[in-house]
A and B are shown apart, each in its own frame.
Chain A
Amino acid sequence: MTGWRLMARQIVRNPLSLAGVVIIFIFIILAVFAPLIAPAPAGHRDPYLIPRDGFSITPQPPSSEHIFGTTQGQYDIFYGCIWGARTAFRVALLVMAITILIGIVLGSLAGYFGGIIDEIIMRITDIFLAFPALILAMAIVAAIGPSMKTVMIALSVVWWPSYARLIRGDILQLREEDYVEASRGLGASSGRVILRHVLPNAIYPTLVMASLDIGAVVLSAAALSFLGLGAPEGYADWGQMTEFARNWIVGPQDDPLKYWYAVITPGLFILFFVLGWNLLGDAFRDIFDPKLARR
């Protein structure tokens, strides 16, 4: 069990994880200061809807007005990408929070009490895990009706089983530890034992998985939006913007890569966002992996 300071030092030492932290930090700045960096024009109602400069279908190349250009329907790419960072954080953090919460509750119940409760919960997670995540999410979204909220619900439903399993596994391991026995011997109730002793130690693998999963969640959300099952048209979401670009992959004969800005830019934002979290998560994994302990 490493102290937080030691962990921070190890992260800063490693150039890869440092890069990850820097990237995430940049995105946080973009998200927090979105209204300043990409202000909505006067009178614009919902800041999450990308402002349109006209209604022409053809994307326009970058210019002084539109730094990244505009995509199909004249939506400003720059605006979309910056506010997209906000959307990404919203989705990622909310889904993670719900998932981990459900995972902790169900995982603790299963791990600590065992028996029938454990069996039932495990079978349910089995069923969820056997089904391809994306398709399940698609089914849920389609059933309820596409929107960002639905996407978040669907992703939470799809993701919680892995956390329940993880926490359960940790608890099973930690349950046998001596200090838990000692605590029970002193008369502590089950709940207290879980909260004060078992969970704090189970946090670390969860942290590893969570930081790696944030990237995966954003990727899945983007995929859903890309398929038209997520953000409504014109919403500031990276996946949604990439969907627009689908029709413009190939330009006219003489200039096939003409609309590259519409295709590449939103995807690049997704890539870096996910990359940052993955780098961080990878560093976490190395730090907390007992087998790869440094000499």
Chain B
Amino acid sequence: MENIIRIKDLTVRFYTYEGVVYAIDDLDLDIRQGETLGIVGETGSGKTMTALAILRLIPYPGKIESGSIVFFDKGLGHELELLKLREDRMRSIRGNRISMVFQEPGSALNPVYTIGDQISEVFLLHRRQELAQRARQRLDVLLQDGSGPAASVKRPLWRWQRRLYNKIAQDSNPLEPRLLGRLPLFRRLLWRMKHEAKLLTVDMLKDVEIPDAARVATQYPHQMSGGMKQRAVIAMALACSPDLLMADEPTTSLDVTIQAQMLELFRRIKVDKGASVLFITHNLGVAAEVCDRVAVMYAGRLCEVATVEELFLHPLHPYTRALLDAVPMPGKKLETIPGVLADSFNPPPGCRFHPRCPSAMPICQKERAKLKEVSQDHMVACHLY
């Protein structure tokens, strides 16, 4: 399938004390294999919720009301309807096949555990068999090469461990190590897997260009700078080589200079890992730098989606035009979009943008526009077309 994600008719509602909010309202969106799709919009446009919906992590009091999200799992080779998946299957996809990077790296990391621990956690969760295999290999080497009195004493222990790891390597959740893992003393026997996970972690940290990776892995989040933390979070998301990486405003909380580095990193990820990326941002400039295609959302609805050149050169939707006009440029008068953001509890009827739209027509008040392909790979939802 050409699309790694196909969202159709997605509706997400929030049932709050003060009323019902349509965070996402009948959304149709595709993410293609290997592309970096940007979602651009203001606060409340529903862009973050889209990513959370894909992972089925919509927080209470929100609910995914209706729709379908189809994910093409490269490992399995076929499609999955994510919204109908059993929770434990969904869990095996989170952090593994689809992962997410959040906005504030500072709060995304748990302050009481080291970076290394938190990244290793992903490996220990999703890559048990591989870790067990590596451990087994090391034990094979030890059993072969080990000599001297110390080795002969430890041999039975090594053989037992090897048997253990062999079991894990072949069957993902065997009984014996599971029971052992619970007993406090025997938990130590599985330390080799933790060790392998640590090695993989350090490799990951090196991949995201963190200097002195081995030392950094032993540090706590509060000991790291914002840029480093964000890299660590990215490392955590990329650990299992996901098919889809979703990034929610990954550069917003960082210094401009670090931002540039981060974007460079994202570009490299695209090339090296071949992952598809869903890049959420409110900054058009950033979107232009990193994305292949860009989708514009407003008040939970999709306004326009096109390739990045098309969108910036020939914006069709009035909202997109307004956004582009609003970008401050030297010499140009500062344009703003008149009016206020659509009220979440009482949104305007018909097209959500019509109260602020310079080209509003009578029909805009009554009917919502459907998404139409206006030119090659360029879709708009506006009555103008």
- Type the 1/0 row for A175-188, where 1 means its CB is closer than 8 Å to any CB of B: 00000000000000
Contacts of A294 in B (CB 8 A): 17
Q: Is A5 interfacial (CB-CB < 8 Å)? A: no
Contacts of A295 in B (CB 8 A): 16-17, 61
Minimum C-beta distance from B231 to chain A (A): 31
- Type the 1/0 row for B1-34, where 1 means its CB is closer than 8 Å to any CB of A: 0000000000000001100000000000000000
Q: Which chain B residue lies CB-closest to A295? A: B16
**A50-B3 Cα distance, complex, nearest whole Å:** 86
Minimum C-beta distance from A282 to chain B (A): 20
Minimum C-beta distance from B12 to chain A (A): 15
Number of interface residues of A (CB under 8 A): 2
Contacts of B17 in A (CB 8 A): 294-295
Minimum C-beta distance from A185 to chain B (A): 31
By secondary structure, the A interface counts as loop
Minimum C-beta distance from B87 to chain A (A): 24
Q: Which chain A residue lies CB-closest to B14? A: A295
- Type the 1/0 row for B295-336, where 1 means its CB is closer than 8 Å to any CB of A: 000000000000000000000000000000000000000000
**A180-B16 Cα distance, complex, nearest whole Å:** 34
**A295-B16 Cα distance, complex, nearest whole Å:** 6
> Within residues 272 to 294 of chain A, which ones have a CB less than 8 A from any CB in chain B?
294
Number of interface residues of B (CB under 8 A): 3
Minimum C-beta distance from A7 to chain B (A): 15
A-B contact count (CB 8 A): 4
Minimum C-beta distance from A78 to chain B (A): 46
**A49-B16 Cα distance, complex, nearest whole Å:** 56
Minimum C-beta distance from A2 to chain B (A): 13
Q: Which chain A residue lies CB-closest to B61? A: A295
**A127-B17 Cα distance, complex, nearest whole Å:** 46
Q: Which chain A residue lies CB-closest to B18? A: A295
Contacts of B16 in A (CB 8 A): 295
Q: Which chain A residue lies CB-closest to B15? A: A295
Minimum C-beta distance from B372 to chain A (A): 37
**A295-B20 Cα distance, complex, nearest whole Å:** 12
Contacts of B61 in A (CB 8 A): 295
Minimum C-beta distance from B241 to chain A (A): 37
Q: Which chain B residue lies CB-closest to A294? A: B17
Minimum C-beta distance from A238 to chain B (A): 41
Minimum C-beta distance from A263 to chain B (A): 46
Minimum C-beta distance from B19 to chain A (A): 11
**A294-B17 Cα distance, complex, nearest whole Å:** 8
Minimum C-beta distance from A198 to chain B (A): 30
- Type the 1/0 row for B175-187, where 1 means its CB is closer than 8 Å to any CB of A: 0000000000000
**A294-B60 Cα distance, complex, nearest whole Å:** 12
> Within residues 14 to 72 of chain B, which ones have a CB less than 8 A from any CB in chain A?
16-17, 61
Minimum C-beta distance from A234 to chain B (A): 54
**A294-B16 Cα distance, complex, nearest whole Å:** 9
**A88-B16 Cα distance, complex, nearest whole Å:** 42
- Type the 1/0 row for A239-263, where 1 means its CB is closer than 8 Å to any CB of B: 0000000000000000000000000
**A251-B167 Cα distance, complex, nearest whole Å:** 68
**A294-B15 Cα distance, complex, nearest whole Å:** 12
**A295-B60 Cα distance, complex, nearest whole Å:** 10
**A147-B16 Cα distance, complex, nearest whole Å:** 55
**A158-B16 Cα distance, complex, nearest whole Å:** 44
Minimum C-beta distance from B117 to chain A (A): 27
**A289-B17 Cα distance, complex, nearest whole Å:** 17
**A34-B17 Cα distance, complex, nearest whole Å:** 43
**A21-B171 Cα distance, complex, nearest whole Å:** 60
**A148-B268 Cα distance, complex, nearest whole Å:** 80
> Within residues 107 to 163 of chain B, which ones have a CB less than 8 A from any CB in chain A?
none
4 pairs of A and B residues whose beta carbons are closest in the complex:
A295-B16, A294-B17, A295-B17, A295-B61
Chain A interface (Cβ < 8 Å from any Cβ of B): 294-295
A-B contact pairs, 4 of them (CB 8 A): A294-B17, A295-B16, A295-B17, A295-B61
